C-alpha cells in the first residue's frame, strides 16, 4: 500500500486538473454546475475507483463494480440541475457534462491518463465548438421539432401607448401553438432634454410545443406595421 501512495496522489491530481479544465468553460458561461462542481465530480469519481482498486486486495473485480456504481450514482446530480418550467426544459447539457466529467475522473482514477485527457478535450469542444453549429442548424427552415422552444418577443414604443401595445402583443401570440409564460414592460432611459419621447420596452415570453419560427413571424408580422411600435425583435431563449 505505501508504495502506491505516489501513484494514487498523481491520479487524484490529474483528475483534479481535468475536472478543472471542464469546469472553467462551464464557469465562464455561468452555468449551474461550474468550476467547483465539475472538479468535485471528477475527483470524487477518481477516489471511488482508487478505493475499489486498493482497498480490496486480491479482488480485481471491485474497481469495475465501483465504476458501474459511479455511472448510475451520478444521476442524482444530473437530476438536480434539470429544470422543467411549463413546456420548456433546461439543464440537460449541464447534466450530461457532469456525467461525462464523472467518466473523466473514473479514467484518471484507473490510471488511463491519455484517455482521460482526450475525454476532457472532447467535452470542452462539445460545449464550445458545437454550440454555434447547433444554433446555425436551429435557424434552418423546418416544419418543427419534438423539443419545446421558448421565444422572447421585445417591442419598443412610447410610454404613453405602452398598455395598448402590450395588449396587441398578447393578442398576436394568443394561438393554440403558443403558451404565454410572461409579459413585462420597462421604461428605457432616454434623453428627455432633447425633446425625445419616453420609450417603453414590452417583453413577451411564449413557449411552443415545437419549434416553428415561421409561425411566430406570421403571428407578430402585423405588430411591425403598427405606427405606435418603433421596433420589434424576437429570439429563441437558450436553455443551456
C-alpha grid cell, residue 35: 468550476
Percentage of residues of the chain with pLDDT beyond 90:
5
The confidence band for 55, taking pLDDT boundaries of 50, 70 and 90, is low
Residues 69 and 120 grouped into a single domain: yes
The residue written with cell numbers 405588430 in the block is: 223
Q: Which H/E stretch holds residue 189?
A: none
Cβ–Cβ under 8 Å, residues 2 and 92: no
Q: Give the number of other Cβ atoms within 10 Å of residue 35's Cβ.
A: 17
- The count of domains in the chain is 2
74 domain residue, yes or no: yes
- 182 and 217 in a single domain? The answer is yes
Boundary of a domain, candidates 93, 128, 163: 128
Q: Are 24 and 35 in contact (CB under 8 A)?
A: yes
Q: Evaluate the CA torsion angle 36, 38, 44, 50 in order and state its sign.
A: negative
Q: Are residues 103 and 189 in the same domain?
A: no
Q: Which domain holds residue 56?
A: 2-128
Mean pLDDT of 223-231: 86
206 bridge partner residues = 151, 180
State the pLDDT at residue 203: 93
> Do 170 and 87 fall within a single domain?
no
CATH code for position 161: 3.30.70.260
Q: Are strands 83-85 and 149-158 parallel, antiparallel or unpaired?
A: unpaired
Candidate ranges 97-111, 121-135, 190-204; pick with highest mean pLDDT: 97-111
Contact 240, 90 (CB under 8 A): yes
Amino acid at each position: 500500500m505505501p508504495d502506491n501512495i505516489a501513484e494514487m496522489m498523481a491520479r487524484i491530481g490529474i483528475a483534479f486538473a481535468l475536472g478543472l479544465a471542464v469546469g472553467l468553460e462551464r464557469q465562464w458561461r455561468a452555468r449551474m454546475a461550474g468550476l467547483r462542481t465539475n472538479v468535485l465530480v471528477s475527483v470524487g469519481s477518481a477516489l471511488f475507483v482508487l478505493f475499489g482498486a486498493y482497498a480490496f486486495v486480491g479482488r480485481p473485480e471491485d474497481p469495475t463494480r465501483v465504476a458501474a456504481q459511479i455511472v448510475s450514482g451520478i444521476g442524482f446530480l444530473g437530476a438536480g440541475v434539470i429544470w422543467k418550467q411549463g413546456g420548456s426544459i433546461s439543464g440537460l447539457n449541464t447534466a450530461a457534462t457532469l456525467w461525462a466529467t464523472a467518466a473523466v475522473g473514473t479514467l484518471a482514477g484507473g490510471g488511463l491518463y491519455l484517455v482521460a485527457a482526450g475525454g476532457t478535450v472532447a467535452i470542452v469542444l462539445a460545449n464550445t465548438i458545437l454550440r454555434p453549429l447547433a444554433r446555425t442548424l436551429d435557424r434552418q427552415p423546418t416544419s418543427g421539432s419534438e423539443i419545446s422552444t421558448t421565444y422572447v418577443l421585445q417591442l419598443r414604443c412610447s410610454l404613453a401607448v405602452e398598455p395598448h401595445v402590450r395588449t396587441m402583443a398578447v393578442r398576436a401570440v394568443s394561438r393554440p401553438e403558443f403558451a404565454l409564460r410572461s409579459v413585462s414592460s420597462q421604461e428605457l432611459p432616454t434623453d428627455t432634454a432633447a425633446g425625445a419621447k419616453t420609450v417603453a420596452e414590452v417583453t413577451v415570453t411564449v413557449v411552443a410545443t415545437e419549434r416553428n419560427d415561421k409561425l411566430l413571424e406570421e403571428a407578430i408580422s402585423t405588430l411591425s406595421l403598427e405606427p405606435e411600435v418603433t421596433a420589434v425583435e424576437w429570439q429563441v431563449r437558450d436553455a443551456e
